[in-house]
Structure 1
């Protein structure tokens, strides 16, 4: 190998070493940060899975407490589930137990505080709360809770609230819209037809199946 080539290689080596001396700390730091992010993500996923399993166990424990009719203890257990996916389910179970125990106002408070990121579950929470409000003589509040929800169950609750407020025309419209969504064979259909008849409406005859 020629002397010039050796010198070039030596010069390149020195440049590489000099660059490493200047930037080595940054490289090492970058590797450490990268490893920390990977390990942190793995820990977070493991932590979330563990928390989810623990929350599930805690929810089951709350259900056992409700079976034992210890509503006060169950209320404390439900509060501990507030930041977990089980929170809305715990609220529904707790509210039912409170209602069965004659604590309607407590059940209303439980459902008022409950929320869910799942749209279907959130509608159920609103429907249960609205029904309790109607029973408590607060049908106007029930209408606000239902809002503009247009699924069959919500429309039926809206109709019930309108009946409680003496709004028979509006109730007929709501019940008619419910029937338009219910299948002919739906077990809920007969009750809604009775409600519609009670406010002066007339259920349409179901279309004959071809």
Structure 2
């Protein structure tokens, strides 16, 4: 007998029978659905709470750095890396540590901090920023080839002017003046006409050996 020709009583009986025969599956399905909803909500709350804790630790790190309490800052940064690996706050703290190390002339410590920053992010823009900083440190340490490799491994759309200028610096160190000239010209194209950075790049261009003299 087709279901649609049953009267209301018969339909009700069929529904009740189906529920009796399948109540376990129904209960399990409801329980799984509720647990998934609850689990998702808990995961979101945990993510928010974790990010909040990371932000507070970074604030404490920044305060310690500003106050010159470098030992405290180092301990906080270590805890931040341990408790919140992969957080952008780990990257920010490592970048600040690298900057401080460069100011002190400790290029090895700067490279170590930048390596930590790179390992803790998958964000392409942050990775490009870390690569630029690492290239700058490598260049300052006399490793022009290493610096060039870092820059060439970057996305061509991130920090174009900075990357091109730094590429020109590395190529100049390597004696590749023609390539350096092209890199500096690319940097100028990417810069706003009123940018104060243009003067320095134009000066670097002017300091390059004349192409005709090189070929003569």
Same fold (TM over 0.5): yes
The reply to whether residue 96 of structure 1 matches residue 99 of structure 2 is yes
Within the candidate set 176, 198, 204, 1:189 is matched to 198
Greater shift, 170-179 or 145-154, is seen at 145-154
* Alignment TM-score, normalising by the size of structure 2: 0.81
TM-superposed CA distance for 1:76, in Å, is: 3.8
CA change 1:201–1:155 in 2 (3 A) is farther
**Counterpart Cα distance in 2 of 1:76 and 1:168:** 45
**Counterpart Cα distance in 2 of 1:157 and 1:27:** 64
The reply to whether residue 152 of structure 1 matches residue 161 of structure 2 is yes
- Greater helix fraction, Structure 1 or Structure 2: 2
**Counterpart Cα distance in 2 of 1:58 and 1:157:** 33
Deviations 1:18-61 (A, max 9, x none): 32232101101111111111111111111111111111111111
**Counterpart Cα distance in 2 of 1:121 and 1:40:** 31
**Counterpart Cα distance in 2 of 1:190 and 1:172:** 15
Counterpart in 2 of 1:108? 111
**Counterpart Cα distance in 2 of 1:148 and 1:173:** 18
Greater shift, 82-91 or 186-195, is seen at 82-91
**Counterpart Cα distance in 2 of 1:38 and 1:18:** 29
Counterpart in 1 of 2:77? 78
**Counterpart Cα distance in 2 of 1:34 and 1:17:** 23
The runs of 5 or more residues in structure 2 that have no matched partner are 1-6, 212-216
Alignment of 1:131-142 (within 5 A): 131-142=136-147
Within the candidate set 164, 176, 179, 2:173 is matched to 164
User: Does structure 1 retain, via aligned residues, the 8 Å contact 2:91–2:116?
Assistant: no
TM-superposed CA distance for 1:145, in Å, is: 0.7
- The two structures, once aligned, show a CA RMSD in angstroms of 2.3
* Alignment TM-score, normalising by the size of structure 1: 0.83
Larger Rg: 1
Alignment of 1:22-37 (within 5 A): 22-37=21-36
3-state DSSP of counterpart to 1:86: helix
**What is the count of residue pairs matched by the alignment?**
196
TM-superposed CA distance for 1:104, in Å, is: 1.4
User: Does structure 2 retain, via aligned residues, the 8 Å contact 1:71–1:97?
Assistant: no
TM-superposed CA distance for 1:119, in Å, is: 2.5
